[in-house]
């Protein structure tokens, strides 16, 4: 048994569209998880034209197909930059250093998988050399904003007994604060090196990238005594693909094109609460 999930911006999900798809595919009763925002119905088998229909309505609705069994996960594994927050921290630091456009261009290419992540990170961090450490607090206070729905996602899964881990190719100076603000139980990231109150332009080794995120998935699930199938992972960049492939549910959130191509589950219209809808939570079940 499969579940067809439809998610749109609040008020933008047309009931007529939902009913039309259900009727065309011979689905079960439509369940509205949030009126005008999220609905689903069961199917005995995946429709042969699913990909074509998904492409046809992609500009208005996130259409996903997922197994009915084991939908509610006991662990959230999340990327930080452009996933749990709306910015890329290194790009914001670069703005303060006066090299914003150059660094943003490298970041975009790295996240789309066009550049080696470790090499791209090393190159960008080198451009931050001499920046005062105090600029990190300034960026956190003035430039960093949480992605909508993140606190609700973490709070709802935590209340249900889940564990939330933040894993980033960014920096611990940011993940520590972001994890605390949003409610994550733990975080992992790279360490920016500093000397005499200024960034040295280097990052501590080993660098946490794609494989380190997979390692985090393996180590944390082993410690908790749960299976990788019990994990829902979310990210937007090429360095997230390893954990998205391995997790029981891997979600590409507002992701780069190369990432969306590789992920069966995609969210482009919903916010982070879409991860709750994909697990079958109704809005009435969300933690405040």
Catalytic residues: 79, 81
How far apart CA 85 and CA 178 sit, in angstroms, is: 8
Residue 44 and residue 65 in contact, taking contact as beta carbons nearer than 8 Å: no
How far apart CA 62 and CA 83 sit, in angstroms, is: 17
Tell me if residue 148 falls in helix, strand or coil: coil
Task: Give, as one character, the DSSP assignment of residue 196.
Answer: T
How far apart CA 184 and CA 236 sit, in angstroms, is: 19
Q: Which residue has the tokens 């332009």?
A: 201
Residue 7 and residue 267 in contact, taking contact as beta carbons nearer than 8 Å: yes
Among 79, 204, 193, 70, CA closest to 136: 193
> CA torsion angle for 103, 124, 209, 112 (degrees, to 10)?
30
Radius of gyration, CA atoms only, the chain: 20
């Amino acid at each position: 048994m499969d579940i067809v999930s439809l998610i749109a911006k609040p008020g933008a999900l047309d009931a007529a569209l939902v009913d039309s798809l259900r009727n065309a595919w011979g689905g079960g009763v439509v369940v509205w998880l949030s009126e005008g925002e999220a609905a689903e119905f069961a199917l005995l088998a995946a429709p042969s034209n699913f990909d074509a229909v998904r492409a046809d309505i992609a500009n208005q609705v996130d259409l996903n197909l997922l197994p009915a069994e084991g939908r509610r996960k006991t662990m959230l594994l999340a990327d930080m930059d452009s996933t749990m927050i709306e910015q890329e921290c290194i790009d914001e630091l670069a703005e303060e250093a006066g090299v914003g456009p150059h660094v943003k261009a490298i970041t975009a290419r790295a996240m789309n998988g066009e550049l080696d992540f470790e090499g791209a990170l090393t190159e960008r961090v080198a451009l931050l050399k001499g920046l005062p450490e105090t600029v990190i607090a300034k960026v956190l206070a003035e430039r960093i904003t949480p992605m909508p729905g993140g606190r609700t996602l973490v709070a709802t899964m935590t209340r249900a007994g889940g564990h939330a881990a933040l894993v980033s190719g960014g920096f611990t100076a940011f993940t520590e604060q972001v994890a605390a603000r949003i409610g994550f139980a733990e975080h992992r990231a790279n360490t920016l090196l500093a000397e005499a109150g200024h960034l040295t332009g280097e990052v501590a080794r080993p660098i946490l990238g794609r494989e380190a995120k997979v390692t985090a998935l393996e180590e944390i699930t082993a410690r908790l005594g749960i299976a990788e199938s019990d994990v829902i992972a979310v990210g937007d960049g090429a360095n997230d693909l390893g954990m998205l492939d391995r997790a029981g549910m891997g979600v590409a959130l507002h992701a780069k094109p190369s990432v969306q191509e590789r992920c069966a589950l995609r969210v482009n219209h919903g916010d982070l609460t879409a991860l709750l809808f994909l697990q079958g939570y109704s809005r009435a079940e969300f933690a405040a």
